[in-house]
């Protein structure tokens, strides 16, 4: 990092040390100007030896880049200075400086979409935290990365510890941590607690009312609450306002809004638009936000089951190169797709893997909120018959699955229809030729024929006329 002063102006190192002194609460907030200056600076190669000054300078740059969304270097910036969690060069520094540096590395990893790496840095930061302020910061970035990685039980413990320290010290609300509140909201969403998600959105926005990125995150949380509570009209409006608005935001939050937008459109039956809004979206390395998972959800609704399996194969093969959080959603959709493709053993194995993953991490119901209820319940019950130890978890999941619509309950197997099949039934009732339906839905004629056969089987009929008659009876 250049230290050349201009006309007595502070050096970039001076700016970095000023920011580093304000990364933990109790000393005020870093200025937006300082963060921008640092985000545009190059911290340079590793020093011959690390001392407090060098550690604090790098800490400030990492946090500045995380907070201003300057993430072009990705995880390579971390690898420039660290092997694993160890600094590349020898280090002689105080515990406080080391804790601050490791916390900033964790903050950057989370922002860059690598929470599975950030967890390790945050855990190490906690080991060296030698004051309440540094303990809060270590717990906050630990909560950030654990929650982003889908490890909700451990994240809850970290959040409770961070909140206790913050309360005991009586710091100003503005000095709370953005990502800690975000993580707590993700945990609440995983419990389908829409009211708590809204409360946390309000807390986030009121802490920094003049900070656009905090307001944007609060808006994303409100859209999430709408999704969880099935208020899809309000959720769609919130997503569109965020995506079309001018407020700046963090990349991972913008990506989550786009995924929510697609998911809500799919639940409303607008499947072509649901695919279109994520068309061209790139999944960043680390897969903290996985557009393959969002796309898989729509493909399942469209009945494009083989395509779903083919597209998600790479995700399930990535191992620790894939963030844990999106995997349950991918696995449960693969389970349903395998069942449709007449691969019952693979279907049950995928569902069982989903449940075991959720049990190990503290769980989230989100992966189950946009899958066909009938097919999902059938698979869950099959797993329950094999795994008595998962019975309580399965019963709890079935209890929170969205109910079938009032029009479809108990009549002709309509509750078994996927959202894509429900949308297709409207076209069947309109007496459109199958070829025209295929063009309108941007799928092949063979896909439409396959979906029609599935509809007939679920309704217990053998002709289009009989299917339409069942549909009209149940809707009337």
Q: CA separation (Å) from 423 to 76, 186, 269, 457?
A: 45, 31, 6, 16
Judge if 275 and 286 occupy the same domain: no
Q: Is 182 inside any structural domain?
A: no
Q: Is the pLDDT of residue 261 over 60?
A: yes
Judge if 245 and 359 occupy the same domain: no
Q: CA separation (Å) from 104 to 99, 107, 138?
A: 9, 5, 9
Q: Return the pLDDT at 439.
A: 86
Judge if 119 and 1 occupy the same domain: yes
- The domain total for the chain is 4
Which residues 6+ apart lie within 8 Å of 423 measured at CB?
269, 271, 441
Contacts for 343-347: CB closer than 8 Å, 24+ residues apart: 347/379
Return the closest-CA partner of residue 283 out of 309, 319, 259, 310.
259
Rama region for 303: left / alpha / beta (φ>0; ψ in -120 to 50; rest): left
Q: Is the pLDDT of residue 417 over 80?
A: no
Percent of the chain past pLDDT 70, that is, above it, reads: 92
Question: Average of pLDDT values for 438-454?
Answer: 83
Question: For 79-83, 202-206, 243-247, 329-333, which range has the lowest pLDDT when averaged over its residues?
Answer: 243-247
Distance from C-alpha of 314 to C-alpha of 8, rounded to nearest angstrom: 55
Judge if 303 and 392 occupy the same domain: yes
Question: Average of pLDDT values for 334-342?
Answer: 92
Judge if 141 and 225 occupy the same domain: no
Which of 246-255, 304-313, 423-432, 437-446 is modeled with the greatest confidence? 304-313
Q: CA separation (Å) from 373 to 7, 292, 296, 298, 453?
A: 68, 22, 16, 15, 19
Asked whether 475 and 407 are in contact (CB, 8 A), the reply is yes
Q: Is 442 inside any structural domain?
A: yes
Judge if 359 and 428 occupy the same domain: no
Confidence band, pLDDT 50/70/90 cuts, at residue 410: very low
Q: Return the pLDDT at 1.
A: 61
CATH number at residue 167: 1.25.40
Confidence band, pLDDT 50/70/90 cuts, at residue 12: confident
Asked whether 459 and 467 are in contact (CB, 8 A), the reply is yes
**299-324 tens-digit pLDDT:** 988 888 999 999 999 999 998 889 99
Which residues 6+ apart lie within 8 Å of 32 measured at CB?
none
Q: Is 23 inside any structural domain?
A: yes
Confidence band, pLDDT 50/70/90 cuts, at residue 405: very low
Q: Return the pLDDT at 236.
A: 95
Q: Is 181 inside any structural domain?
A: no
Judge if 88 and 35 occupy the same domain: yes
Rama region for 319: left / alpha / beta (φ>0; ψ in -120 to 50; rest): left
Domain end call among 402, 422, 438: 402
Asked whether 38 and 77 are in contact (CB, 8 A), the reply is no
Q: Is 36 inside any structural domain?
A: yes
Confidence band, pLDDT 50/70/90 cuts, at residue 266: confident
Residue 404 or 297, more confident: 297
Question: For 34-38, 121-125, 453-457, which range has the lowest pLDDT when averaged over its residues?
Answer: 453-457
Distance from C-alpha of 335 to C-alpha of 369, rounded to nearest angstrom: 15
Domain end call among 402, 430, 452: 402
Question: Average of pLDDT values for 436-458?
Answer: 83
Q: Give residue 256's domain range.
A: 190-281
Q: Is 303 inside any structural domain?
A: yes
Domain end call among 368, 402, 436: 402
Question: Average of pLDDT values for 312-338?
Answer: 93
Question: Average of pLDDT values for 165-180?
Answer: 97
Q: Is the pLDDT of residue 159 over 80?
A: yes
Asked whether 208 and 174 are in contact (CB, 8 A), the reply is yes
Q: Side-chain half-sphere of 455: how many Cα atoms within 13 Å?
A: 30
Distance from C-alpha of 23 to C-alpha of 97, rounded to nearest angstrom: 11
**346-383 tens-digit pLDDT:** 999 999 999 999 988 887 888 888 888 888 999 999 99
Question: For 112-116, 120-124, 198-202, 244-248, which range has the lowest pLDDT when averaged over its residues?
Answer: 244-248
Distance from C-alpha of 229 to C-alpha of 183, rounded to nearest angstrom: 19
Q: Is the pLDDT of residue 242 over 70?
A: yes
Q: What is the average pLDDT score of the chain?
A: 90
Question: Average of pLDDT values for 416-445?
Answer: 81
Q: CA separation (Å) from 300 to 260, 296, 348?
A: 16, 6, 17
Q: Is the pLDDT of residue 7 over 70?
A: no
**90-126 tens-digit pLDDT:** 999 999 999 999 999 999 999 999 999 999 999 999 9
Judge if 294 and 163 occupy the same domain: no
Question: Average of pLDDT values for 174-181?
Answer: 97
Judge if 222 and 252 occupy the same domain: yes
Name the CA radius of gyration of the chain, rounded: 25
Q: Is 367 inside any structural domain?
A: yes
Distance from C-alpha of 378 to C-alpha of 401, rounded to nearest angstrom: 13
Q: Return the pLDDT at 460.
A: 67
- Give bridge partners of residue 450 from the DSSP assignment: none
Judge if 54 and 109 occupy the same domain: yes
Judge if 165 and 28 occupy the same domain: yes
Asked whether 221 and 201 are in contact (CB, 8 A), the reply is yes
Return the closest-CA partner of residue 82 out of 117, 110, 56, 129.
117
Percent of the chain past pLDDT 90, that is, above it, reads: 68
CATH number at residue 432: 1.10.10.10
Q: Look at the alpha carbons of 423, 427, 429, 430 in this order and tell me if their dihedral is positive or negative.
A: positive
Distance from C-alpha of 164 to C-alpha of 168, rounded to nearest angstrom: 6
Q: Return the pLDDT at 269.
A: 76
Distance from C-alpha of 144 to C-alpha of 320, rounded to nearest angstrom: 18
Question: Average of pLDDT values for 183-201?
Answer: 96
Question: Average of pLDDT values for 171-196?
Answer: 96
Q: Is 185 inside any structural domain?
A: no
Residue 76 or 406, more confident: 76
Judge if 59 and 158 occupy the same domain: yes
Q: Is the pLDDT of residue 400 over 90?
A: no
CATH number at residue 261: 1.25.40.10
Distance from C-alpha of 40 to C-alpha of 18, rounded to nearest angstrom: 16
Q: Is the pLDDT of residue 280 over 50?
A: yes
Using CB atoms within 10 Å of the CB of residue 318, give its burial: 0 to 12 exposed, 13 to 18 middle, 19+ buried.
middle
């Amino acid at each position: 990092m250049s230290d050349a002063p201009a006309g007595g102006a502070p050096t970039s190192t001076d700016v970095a040390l000023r920011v580093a002194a304000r990364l933990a609460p109790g000393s005020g907030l870093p200025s937006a100007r300082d963060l921008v200056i640092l985000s545009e600076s190059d911290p340079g190669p590793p020093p011959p030896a690390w001392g407090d000054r060098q550690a604090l300078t790098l800490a400030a740059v990492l946090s500045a880049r995380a907070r201003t969304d300057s993430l072009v270097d990705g995880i390579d910036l971390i690898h420039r200075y660290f092997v694993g969690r160890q600094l590349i060069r020898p280090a002689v520094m105080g515990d406080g400086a080391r804790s601050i540096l490791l916390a900033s590395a964790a903050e950057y990893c989370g922002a860059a979409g690598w929470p599975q790496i950030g967890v390790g840095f945050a855990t190490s930061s906690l080991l060296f935290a030698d004051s309440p302020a540094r303990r809060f910061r270590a717990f906050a970035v630990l909560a950030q990365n654990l929650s982003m990685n889908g490890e909700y039980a451990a994240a809850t413990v970290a959040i409770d510890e961070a909140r206790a320290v913050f309360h005991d010290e009586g710091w100003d609300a503005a000095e709370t941590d953005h990502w800690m509140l975000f993580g707590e909201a993700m945990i609440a969403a995983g419990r389908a607690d829409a009211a708590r998600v809204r409360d946390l959105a309000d807390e986030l926005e009121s802490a920094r009312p003049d900070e656009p990125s905090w307001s944007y995150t609060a808006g994303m949380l409100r859209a999430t609450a709408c999704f969880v509570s099935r208020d899809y009209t309000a959720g769609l409006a919130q997503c569109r306002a965020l995506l079309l608005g001018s407020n700046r935001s963090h990349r991972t939050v913008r990506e989550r809004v786009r995924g929510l937008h697609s998911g809500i459109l799919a639940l409303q039956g607008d499947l072509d638009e649901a695919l279109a809004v994520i068309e061209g979206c790139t999944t960043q390395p680390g897969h903290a936000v996985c557009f393959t998972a969002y796309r898989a959800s729509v493909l399942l609704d469209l009945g494009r089951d083989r395509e779903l399996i083919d597209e998600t194969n790479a995700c399930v093969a990535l191992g620790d190169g894939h963030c844990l959080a999106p995997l349950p959603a991918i696995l449960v959709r693969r389970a349903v797709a395998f069942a449709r493709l007449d691969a019952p053993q693979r279907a049950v194995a995928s569902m069982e893997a989903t449940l075991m993953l959720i049990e190990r991490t503290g769980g989230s119901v989100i992966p189950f909120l946009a899958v066909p209820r009938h097919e999902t319940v059938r698979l869950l019950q099959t797993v329950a018959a094999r795994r008595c130890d998962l019975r309580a978890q399965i019963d709890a999941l079935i209890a929170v699955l969205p109910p079938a619509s009032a029009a479809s309950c108990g009549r002709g197997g309509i509750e078994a229809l996927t959202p894509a099949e429900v949308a297709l039934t409207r076209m069947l009732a309109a007496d459109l030729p199958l070829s025209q339906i295929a063009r309108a839905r941007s799928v092949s004629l063979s896909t439409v024929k396959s979906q029609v056969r599935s509809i007939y089987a679920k309704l217990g009929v053998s002709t289009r006329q009989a299917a339409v008659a069942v549909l009209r009876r149940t809707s009337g």
